Amino acid sequence: MPKTRDIYFEPLKQRVKWTQNSSDTFIYDYKYIGHASEAEFDLLMELLWHIFDDRNITFDEFKETYDNLRNFCDELKGLVDKSQ
């Protein structure tokens, strides 16, 4: 089972954290996005880069992209579980 970590996003500085640490220890004002395995996080970063390129991303855009990817990954995992 892949280890998941929490994803946080700071829209003003356009910073992302994928961590097990609490947001209480962060220097910047990060907002919680969700959780992801390393593969899911890498896929999210690739997807965001593909969609937004060098343009700044709002919190809502980041969250919506994450939610869509999370739903896709969960559906895919469900298909795999059904076949076993």
23-66 residue pLDDT tens: 666 777 889 999 999 999 999 999 999 999 999 999 999 999 99
Question: What is the spatial distance between Cα 84 and Cα 27, in angstroms, rounded to a whole number?
Answer: 45
Task: State how beta strands 31-37 and 15-19 pair.
Answer: unpaired
Per the structure, the complete domain to which residue 19 belongs is given by 4-83
pTM score, whole prediction: 0.84
- Phi, psi for residue 80 in degrees, rounded to 5: -65, -45
- Total domain count, the chain: 1
